[in-house]
Structure 1
Amino acid sequence: MEEQSPKTHEITIYVGAGRDAREWSPESLTWNELVKRLSDVTRTHETFNDYQNMPKSKKDAIKDVGGFVGGVLKGGRRRAENVAWRSLITLDFDFAPRLLEQSEIEFAAALYTTHSHAPDKPRFRLVAPLKYNISPDKYPAVARWVAKSIGGLEWVDPTTFEINRLMFWPSASKDGEFIFWEKQGPWIDPEEILAQYDDWTDAAQWPRSSREDKSIKRQAKKQGDPYEKPGVIGAFCRTYDVKTAIEVFLEDVYEPFGEDRYTYKQGSTAGGVVVYDDGKFVYSFHATDPIGGKLVNSFDLVRIHLYGDRDEVAEPGTPVNRLPSYQAMLALASEDEEVKQTIGLEQLGLAKADFKDDMEWLSKLERYPKTGELRITFRNFELILENDPNLKGRFGYDLFANRVAVLKPLPWRQDSGQFENVDDAALRGYIENTYGIRHKERLMDALMTVSRKNSFHPVRDYLNSLDWDGVPRLETVFIDYVGAEDNPHVRKLTKKALVAAVKRIFEPGAKFDEMITLVGPQGIGKSRIIHRLSKGWFTDSLDSLNGKDAYESIQGVWLVEMAEMSAIKRAADVEMVKKFLSKQYDRYRPPYARMIEEYPRQCIFIGSTNTFEFLVDKTGNRRFWPFRCGVTPQRPWEELTEEEVDQIWAEALVYYREGYPTYLKKDEDADTIEWVTGRQQEHTEENSLTGMIQEFLDRPLPDDWDDRDLFSRRAYLEGVEAAPSSGQPRNKVCVMEVWAELLGNDPAKLDRRASREIGAIIESLGWKRNPALRFKNYGRQRAFVRGVSTKGVNKV
């Protein structure tokens, strides 16, 4: 790993507005800058005595003045699995009998007291920079050793070693004691610390305080015996202790490591998962494990690993029993075959009883001659999937979502829909319990083959089922329901976009890189109309326009809302959107797939914004079709019934079949092109320099202009001397002239950002870029000219 210089290296931290912040932002600063920030305390309005007597919830709110994580968070989310690396050691001392002294520290560090600190009950935080950035798996081993080396292992909060641990910025009551000191010294060398271990990857060798075991026992007592929990949760825990749950559901996540210990496979350390109470609970010391730092029973163990990512959409503070992961796990447990047996239902016996109606296929299964046991072959899995009474006809392939689908109820679920990870586990469990064979890859290959034989396209099937009644609705849908301006251009563009949506269903990847953008006040239904038209094939959660996550998020989606276009404030953002809209195919490797595949686009994009000037680049806005909404009377939403939406798409289907063009033709649609270009310009944010530069370019120049120095030119432009009765029109210009003569800046201080901004404004005013020309006072510069060529342009 590359060594960082303690004197010059900038440390990257991620900062958030508070403990419940969803988005965390990167900030790079030197150690000196961070130390200065840690010395700056925020004083709150209450007295320390009042603070001490407050309930915990109110204390938490008062001391939350924002904070930081001492490392990098992928995607800006403060989850353990999102930590890319750590650059700081951060320790919370909640049980110290006294403050640490600087003399006890042999490395660079900063100490500051917390909001709850009192002279007789010191509480403080210690922050120390690392000589190297370290991976999340190394962090607990290093941080624990540091705590031990300064004699504070028993003083720290046991949760302080979590890799995504939040450190609040300094705060104190208005009369509370605040102490800060900085220790000068070398930065901590993590490799030297790791070398102190016989094997740092063995979590059993990490220093642990007595508080941790006591804390785990307290948690177990507080949670209660999972076997005695009522309903499905207790039944699941009695059916699967944590060891069995790992074997059945999480064999790809953990592997055994000695007695009552496991290793988290995606981490670098070993044996950090410990089983407690004869398999009733498990605790993980692995930093990147989703259950890291938690004591969980088998139900929560499986819930967090299979469905924990679904909880990202939940509001902070949502009770566990209302989390999406809890509901999904409850569905899994209630439909699980083994759990049903625990509560009195013999699913396996019912499956065997069904075989009596068709036994011939069983004779085709390949078996070992000596034992009669089934061979673990692709053919056997294929036969079972095609003939087992509980599996036959249950699987198909959704050509729209590009994934396996469940068509009918299965032994472990009663609904249809997409084939999920839990179905993968349940299908393997069902086949193993029934037939005694298990092989993940061969089963998945057979499932793909069988499901492909039952391919279907839900949106195509939906459209083909429609019959138009002949009443026109298509081109006025945005006029009718969100009050878009009513003119021939809005009608034409609406028709083209919605016909394009149909075209991409029947011709995936068809070219259509434009986007209607609904512009209007909040509350008029901009998002609602998109969702209603989508028939459920909708998303407004396109968080990124880059990479596999973006491509996966639009699979199985027909209408994608790009909400709040006003958030696009940089030219780079606009370029990213334009590039994304222009793609006809997405190439990536789906989860669990072996190869990169190409997926033609089957969706269109519709933007929405409350901001009038939502475009920032005067050039290249061709793809955006702005519709001003809320300007005409709206029909009641009750009139936009499912049947009405069906007729809108039925009409679009008729136009598609007639070959209606989804693009604007230069000659036939010249009026609409002119109109939409004007709209794009009106919705583009105006640069405050544009008018000044326009006047500068149009001002006639004296005959001796090329002989004047910079100060004489400024005097003329500032009106010190009268304008000539007749003068030369300016026929060439460079950015430096605008910067130095019009804006009065030092030519030596022109930077790249200002140069790009000025050049873009000149070009937006109709001037053409040309190769470098020579300019008096400035030498050779990149030029702009009124004409397309340099013919007739003064070369001086």
Structure 2
Amino acid sequence: MIGDVVNISVKQFTRTKKKVLDENGEKVEIDAIVSDSPRNVLLAMKSDNKLNDFLRHNEFTGEHEIVADVKLDAISMRKGQLPSAFESYLSVYLENHFKVVFKTRALQDGIEAFFAEKTYNPVQEYMEHAYDSWDHKERLNQVFQTWLGAEDSIYVQKIAEMFFVGAVSKVFNPWVKFDYTLDLVGGQGAGKTTFLQKIAVDWYTDSAKDFMDKDNYEIMLKSLIVNDDEMVASRKTTFDELKAFVTKTDLTFRRSYGRRAEKFPKNFVIARTSNKVEYLGDKTGERRFLPVLVDAAKQFVKPFDMTDNDVLQLWGEAVAIYKKGFTLTFDEDFEDELAVYKERFTYRDEAENQIYDYLDMLVPEEWDSMSVVQQHQYTWAYFNNGVYRNDAGFIYEGVKPQESVSSKQILKNVFDIDVAKGDKLARKIKLIMDNNQDWEYRQKRVNGKMTRGYFRKNIQ
């Protein structure tokens, strides 16, 4: 037996008079429970002590669950996700014990009404427990240094705080906008994946292999931390698609066995791992990715040895920071500093290296008055470790940084290409310069003439 009928009086059911055949085959009128009433299904489920106690709706995953092993007559159901055949099991059980065959729509609506009243959020409960258990010792500012051997810098400290508090924010307000991913790079064998599994407790996945495939959405929505291990999903996604996905606040799709497409809050944060250090390639939107360089040789403790209490204390501190009020964006000044920090993680091809070398090149005092040919010849000599002499034999020496450059100059001086023939390279130069923190595009008077181009920021 699944359990005794308790709490709900039989009189509370919506009833009707119904004619049935008795044992002698004669028609008799009986008092029967209405079979097309969702309310009756709801009352029947609430009246049973085991159904009422062990069936819950998980608000975090959006799924109906069994919170302990339970038996419906001869049918055993194990703790976990509600089986797809639950509706059939329940229909037979209710017929056995309430002598009524509920109509399908009434059964479905009654079940949904029951679970709507029986919600819980295990991740919120865990976070509140972590908050109550926190010993008030600060650990977040050293979490990556301790467990992953990261450098001890303000950048790593702030990235840790942003990621952990961002995750807590998603727990208490799943619709909140959080625009960052944590990228753990380098440090092969340091336990990057193990670290993420440990801190995610029971709400981790690395099974989502494509951010655009809606079949993966259900997997992700059951997790607090979605790990794109070795950036497999990122590689299958265009950079624009990846940026858009990171900043989404909701996901719209039809769940398995769902009747229609629904909008769900994106209730998780994204982490990515890679053994490759120079992994950032695009010059736009890189602010969304927060890299931390991992070094197994500098670990104080390996993630494998992380205890449940170690994890609990980290989340307790993060919840405390969240409850005090926390902004889920870095300020503009720190974003600029972070951009410089990220340069070590940015991949540069040969052409890009040449452009950066050109920007670092010291030029003669006479640079602005030199002809196009002379500037190109000087640059050529610089890149080939030579010296540049004019026709009179005068040696031009580099004594000052360039104050301004243009795409046209870079095309000619570095690549010996005229602007009319270098459209593709010109676009690359523009992209690099537009995203270079040390230069800005503006108009300025040079040698009595108004000139548009890129000007070094720290030179007036």
Indicate how the Cα distance of structure 1 residues 522 and 413 shifts in structure 2: closer, same or farther if over 3 A, else same: farther
* Cα distance between partner residues in 2 of 1:686 and 1:583: 29
Q: Which string of whole-angstrom CA distances, capped at 9 and with x for unpartnered residues, describes residues 343-373 of structure 1?
A: xxxxxxx46x945x77942772534622356
Q: Which string of whole-angstrom CA distances, capped at 9 and with x for unpartnered residues, describes residues 643-695 of structure 1?
A: 2222222222222222244432346xx4xx45532231110101210233356
Say whether 1:757 aligns with 2:423. Answer: no
Say whether 1:405 aligns with 2:65. Answer: yes
Say whether 1:447 aligns with 2:111. Answer: yes
Which of 241, 244, 253 in structure 2 is aligned with 1:576? Answer: 241
Q: Map 1:686-697 to 2 at 5 A.
A: 686-694=348-356
For 1:381, the equivalent position in structure 2 comes to 41
Deviation at 1:587, TM superposition (A): 3.2
Amino acid at match of 1:599: F
SS at match of 1:392: helix
Deviation at 1:528, TM superposition (A): 0.5
For 1:392, the equivalent position in structure 2 comes to 52
Is the contact between residue 519 and residue 610 of structure 1 (CA under 8 Å) also seen in structure 2? yes
If the length of structure 1 is used for normalisation, what is the TM-score? 0.46
* Cα distance between partner residues in 1 of 2:234 and 2:7: 62
Say whether 1:681 aligns with 2:330. Answer: no
For 1:553, the equivalent position in structure 2 comes to 219
Say whether 1:563 aligns with 2:226. Answer: no
Amino acid at match of 1:418: Q
Q: Map 1:140-219 to 2 at 5 A.
A: none
Say whether 1:459 aligns with 2:158. Answer: no
Which of 439, 454, 459 in structure 2 is aligned with 1:786? Answer: 454
SS at match of 2:287: coil
Indicate how the Cα distance of structure 1 residues 731 and 378 shifts in structure 2: closer, same or farther if over 3 A, else same: same
Say whether 1:486 aligns with 2:152. Answer: yes
Which of 621, 632, 637 in structure 1 is aligned with 2:298? Answer: 632
* Cα distance between partner residues in 2 of 1:404 and 1:513: 30
Indicate how the Cα distance of structure 1 residues 575 and 604 shifts in structure 2: closer, same or farther if over 3 A, else same: same
Amino acid at match of 2:432: I
Amino acid at match of 1:573: T
* Cα distance between partner residues in 2 of 1:690 and 1:681: 13
* Cα distance between partner residues in 1 of 2:8 and 2:178: 53
* Cα distance between partner residues in 2 of 1:651 and 1:696: 47
* Cα distance between partner residues in 2 of 1:375 and 1:503: 44
Deviation at 1:730, TM superposition (A): 6.8
Aligned length: 413
For 1:606, the equivalent position in structure 2 comes to 271
For 1:303, the equivalent position in structure 2 comes to none
Which of 177, 180, 200 in structure 2 is aligned with 1:514? Answer: 180
Indicate how the Cα distance of structure 1 residues 431 and 548 shifts in structure 2: closer, same or farther if over 3 A, else same: farther
Indicate how the Cα distance of structure 1 residues 694 and 558 shifts in structure 2: closer, same or farther if over 3 A, else same: closer
SS at match of 2:221: coil
Deviation at 1:610, TM superposition (A): 0.6
Say whether 1:472 aligns with 2:132. Answer: no
SS at match of 2:183: strand
Indicate how the Cα distance of structure 1 residues 486 and 503 shifts in structure 2: closer, same or farther if over 3 A, else same: same
Is the contact between residue 768 and residue 784 of structure 1 (CA under 8 Å) also seen in structure 2? no
Indicate how the Cα distance of structure 1 residues 597 and 695 shifts in structure 2: closer, same or farther if over 3 A, else same: same
Is the contact between residue 394 and residue 410 of structure 1 (CA under 8 Å) also seen in structure 2? no
Say whether 1:427 aligns with 2:90. Answer: yes
* Cα distance between partner residues in 2 of 1:503 and 1:609: 26
SS at match of 2:164: helix
Is the contact between residue 225 and residue 269 of structure 2 (CA under 8 Å) also seen in structure 1? yes
* Cα distance between partner residues in 1 of 2:213 and 2:234: 19
SS at match of 2:264: strand
Say whether 1:366 aligns with 2:15. Answer: yes
Indicate how the Cα distance of structure 1 residues 398 and 363 shifts in structure 2: closer, same or farther if over 3 A, else same: closer
Deviation at 1:761, TM superposition (A): 3.1
Deviation at 1:748, TM superposition (A): 8.3
Query: Structure 2: which 5+ runs fail to align?
Result: 21-29, 382-386, 444-450
Is the contact between residue 767 and residue 784 of structure 1 (CA under 8 Å) also seen in structure 2? no
For 1:652, the equivalent position in structure 2 comes to 318
1 or 2 for the larger relative contact order (CA 8 Å, sep ≥6)?
2
For 2:27, the equivalent position in structure 1 comes to none
* Cα distance between partner residues in 2 of 1:733 and 1:756: 9
For 2:26, the equivalent position in structure 1 comes to none
SS at match of 2:301: coil
Q: Which string of whole-angstrom CA distances, capped at 9 and with x for unpartnered residues, describes residues 388-417 of structure 1?
A: 455333322211111222234242334322
Is the contact between residue 249 and residue 265 of structure 2 (CA under 8 Å) also seen in structure 1? yes
Is the contact between residue 280 and residue 345 of structure 2 (CA under 8 Å) also seen in structure 1? yes
* Cα distance between partner residues in 2 of 1:676 and 1:767: 16
* Cα distance between partner residues in 2 of 1:488 and 1:767: 24
Is the contact between residue 180 and residue 290 of structure 2 (CA under 8 Å) also seen in structure 1? yes
Indicate how the Cα distance of structure 1 residues 360 and 556 shifts in structure 2: closer, same or farther if over 3 A, else same: same
For 1:216, the equivalent position in structure 2 comes to none
* Cα distance between partner residues in 1 of 2:85 and 2:203: 22
Q: Map 1:43-62 to 2 at 5 A.
A: none
Is the contact between residue 195 and residue 303 of structure 2 (CA under 8 Å) also seen in structure 1? no
* Cα distance between partner residues in 2 of 1:419 and 1:689: 57
Query: Structure 1: which 5+ runs fail to align?
Result: 1-349, 772-782, 789-796
Indicate how the Cα distance of structure 1 residues 501 and 729 shifts in structure 2: closer, same or farther if over 3 A, else same: closer
Structure showing the higher helix proportion among its residues: 2
* Cα distance between partner residues in 2 of 1:516 and 1:425: 44
Deviation at 1:427, TM superposition (A): 3.2
Amino acid at match of 1:420: P
Percent identity (aligned): 24
* Cα distance between partner residues in 1 of 2:86 and 2:155: 49
If the length of structure 2 is used for normalisation, what is the TM-score? 0.75
Say whether 1:733 aligns with 2:407. Answer: yes
RMSD over equivalenced CA pairs, Å? 3.9
* Cα distance between partner residues in 1 of 2:430 and 2:235: 18
Deviation at 1:554, TM superposition (A): 2.1
Amino acid at match of 2:407: V
SS at match of 1:605: strand
Q: Map 1:74-153 to 2 at 5 A.
A: none
* Cα distance between partner residues in 1 of 2:419 and 2:336: 40
Is the contact between residue 701 and residue 730 of structure 1 (CA under 8 Å) also seen in structure 2? no
Is the contact between residue 517 and residue 607 of structure 1 (CA under 8 Å) also seen in structure 2? yes
Amino acid at match of 1:361: V
Deviation at 1:426, TM superposition (A): 3.2
Which of 283, 286, 303 in structure 2 is aligned with 1:621? Answer: 286
